[in-house]
A and B are shown apart, each in its own frame.
Chain A
Amino acid sequence: MKLTDLFRAGKFVVTSEVAPPKGTETAEMIENAERLKPRVDAINITDQQSSVMRLGSLAASRMLKERGIEPVFQATCRDRNRIALQSDLLSAWALGIENVLCLTGDHVTLGDFPDAKAVFDLDSVSLLAAAKGLNQGSDMGGNELAGSPDFCLGAVVTPGADPVELQLIKMGKKIAAGATFFQTQAVFDPEAFARFMEGAKGFGVPVMAGIILLKSPGMARFMNQNVAGVSVPDGLIDEMADAGDRPAKSVEIAARLARDVKDLCQGVHIMPLGWEKRVPEVLEAAGL
């Protein structure tokens, strides 16, 4: 099932994500995905997020697919060149994966192998162009494929970035290269998101607002310091700090953000960061 089919049918699409383990013990990842399954349309599988070496997104995507869960295979350019990336895309299609999210990826210095070669042979835009080429039956070199995929290609955008115009320019480039839907980095300021959507709606491509479950003020501050593309406003950090029941507050904030943005966009992407079991509550409270 392709996400674009859902958008075309006019559905407000809900996705979430799970992270593969560092190691081969996949039970918890599967359990998290099973917990999300009844409430979401698809689940992203992160590709060694924050450049920390883990079990791969492709294998995990297949494991979810086997359990009847629609995977969104995340592919980054950080540690694979164009040969490996194109090959992985062909492998993904052969394994029944239909949705791919194409990202540049964090720099290796942010992860647990800062001394590794940072590849970035391609970037999000050229990876999308390569994947679109595979869809059309040829590789980047123009060589004809014996059988080709038909991926639904997605990309990401950072609505809170300053200047937002630069994000919109790159968004346009991603669409021209092949992106057919967008998941955004975490949204914390609905007004800024509305301004972003004002600029983005002319593209006519579905946008899913990213919602992060904040677990604690410390976690929010840590993300502000260390997680690329995330910026939690002080107001929300204070709200978390003042809360007696933090999990309840976390759900409340995420649900409020989802409610505030849902009329502005075509879906939401919930990033639970370990609190997968609270995602159903968030969606319930947000009326989704």
Chain B
Amino acid sequence: MLVTERKPIDEIVGFLAGERSVFLLGCDGCAAASGTGGEPEILELKEELEAHGTEVVGWKVLDFLCQKALIRTSLRPYAETLERADSVVVSTCGIGIQASATVIDKAVHPACNTVSLGGIRGEWQGEERCAECGQCFLEFTAGICPLTACAKGLVNGPCGGAKDGRCEVEPEVRRCAWDVIYERLERQGRLDLLRRSPVQVKDHARMRPPSAIRGTRTWAIDMKTAEDATS
């Protein structure tokens, strides 16, 4: 389970500057449970975007947006609709956003922040990783998380340490995340995004689980289990 919260509509609309039409993606898994990416929320997002003058050419709620093969097959019938969209807005956790950005080779905008669960996370295996930072950076990084893909978690561009596009820390298994981000943005003709994105500063306070989550959800179940075990 990954817990998400919707970004304010103004922030999402800000991401769409210069774009006229979007395709919306939701997820019936954790995002639906969080009240951010199920069908009702996607329809709500659709209305909000339309109220701001953005055309929504189509939308889809998949079962598991963390699963790239599933995204690929599920979106096949929507290929033409997707083609017509300037970009895709994904209202899910950071993994769903990254998986979508990998499969759909165009601008993918995050509609959610994934909030910290303090280490508890979903189990679907893939190269995408979400740090649950609570301030999703994926908008500025071509849908590739700089906190997990970069060994230093750099959010303002690469360090000088990469050699031949490989990371200085684990060259045998890790490409320079910023090299991959650059490559994707260059292919999509969106390098300007790197030039105009503001100086990013991490907010570590948002990386801690909010007390609202600590008091409920998985914590509550876990604590109940612990209580039952001792009673």
Contacts and interface: CB of A to CB of B under 8 A. Distances in A.
Given A126-B199, A169-B194, A120 B153 contact: yes
B190 interface: no
A134 B178 CA distance: 29
Given A169-B191, A169-B194, A140 B201 contact: yes
Contacts of B164: 162
A109 interface: yes
A264 B163 CA distance: 25
Interface stretch (A4-12, A29-37, A170-178, A240-248): A170-178
Interface in A161-198: 161-163, 165-166, 169-170, 172-173, 176-177, 185
Contact of A166 (B154, B155, B156, B178): B178
A104 B201 contact: no
Contacts of A172: 195
Main secondary structure of the interface of B (DSSP, over half): loop
Contacts of A260: none
Interface in B163-183: 163-165, 168-169, 178-179, 182
A107 B169 contact: yes
A281 interface: no
Interface string A92-132: 00000000000011110110000000101111111001000
A9 B171 CA distance: 44
B157 interface: yes
Nearest to A184: B160
Contact of B199 (A125, A158, A163, A165): A125
Interface of B: 151-165, 168-169, 178-179, 182, 186, 191, 194-195, 199-202, 204
13 contacts: A105-B159, A107-B151, A107-B161, A109-B151, A120-B154, A121-B204, A126-B199, A163-B179, A163-B182, A169-B191, A170-B157, A170-B158, A229-B160
